[in-house]
Amino acid sequence: MRNEKILELININTHYGAIHAVKNINLELYKGEIVTLLGSNGAGKTTTLHTISGLLKPSSGEILFNGGAIHKLPAHKITGRGLAQSPEGRQVFANLTIRENLEMGAYLRSNKSEIEEDFKFVYSLFPKLLERESQLAQTLSGGEQQMLAIARAYMSKPALLLLDEPSLGIAPILVGSIFKAIKEINQKGMTILLVEQNAFLALNVSNRAYVLTNGQVSLQGPAKDLLNNQEIKKAYLGH
């Protein structure tokens, strides 16, 4: 399964204003994987994701997606190539209905029957969204907005899905169902790059993980190994 590279970051440096937030990062993802990016606040996780999705431009280095360079493309073209990001803090369109939010996810697609199929899939994943289809997204709870953000990113039917902090600030009871959904999406063949605070849950669903410290990769390896790593246990797992 792990033979075809889908994403490769080669010596990526990104500056966020005056801050050198990402320093010489090398990272690779293979088709079908779930990979987690761990790190404390300010370690450069979100900056890395934004550099991949094109919201930020690297000051040096290369990003290859399915073999083609994407680091100079505007964000909407990167989405067009099959790489979607569900942004941190949910950022759903509060002034649009739930269905309209999902339609925006499918903005670049034109095959109506395929889109309808995917509506059915995300509604089966998150039945709450179907119940409230025609309501404005601002009426949803934090957890439901997170579900919508993930579903919306899924609707562009990307080959690679970037999820930024899907469990941040939501009720513990919903966290489980969100991770279950992430697994199901992965089983549909989507590769997933996950940024998470909840290291234990994230490592449990992931194949591999990278740990960022001060903008650099300080540790990487199979998720199972990292779960037993003493440093990780101390820093992220609380024991």
Partner 1 sequence: MNQNFTFLLWDCLQYLINGIAQGSLYALVALGYTMVYGIIRLVNFAHGEFLMIGAMCGFYAIRAHLPMPIAIIVAMLSSGLIAVIVERLVYRPIRKSGRIPALITAIGTSLFFQYFGQLTFGADPKTIPPFIAEKIYNFGEVNVSNVQLAILAIVLLVLFFLWWLTHYTKIGKAMRAVSFNLEAAELMGINTNQIISFTFFLGAALAGLGGMLMGYTMSIEPMMGMNLGTKAFVAAVVGGIGIIPGAALGGFIIGIAENLVAGLYKSSFRDAVSFFILIIILLVKPSGILGKNIKEKV
**Binds partner 1 (CB under 8 A): choice among 15, 24, 31, 75:** 75
Binding mask 139-178 toward partner 1 (x if CB under 8 A, else -) reads -------------xx--x----------------------
**Interface pick for partner 1 out of 13, 32, 62, 100 (rule CB under 8 A):** 100
Residue 218 C-beta-side C-alpha neighbours within 13 Å:
15
Strand order in the sheet with 216-222: 83-86, 160-164, 191-195, 34-39, 208-213, 216-222
**Interface residues for partner 1 in 42-61 (CB under 8 A)?**
53-55
Amino acid at 126: F
Q: Does 80 bind partner 1 (CB under 8 A)?
A: yes
76 binds partner 1 (CB under 8 A): yes
- H helices of 81-171, in order, are 98-105, 112-125, 127-131, 142-154
Does the footprint of partner 1 cover residue 183 (CB under 8 A)?
A: no
> What's phi and psi for 54, nearest 5 deg?
95, 0
The residue range among 34-42, 88-96, 119-127, 226-234 that interacts with partner 1, by the rule CB under 8 A, is 88-96
**What is the token pair recorded at 98?**
């739930």
Compute the C-alpha angle 225/228/230, nearest 5°: 120
Q: What residue ranges bind partner 1 (CB under 8 A)?
A: 53-55, 74-76, 79-80, 84-85, 87, 91-96, 100, 103-105, 107-108, 152-153, 156
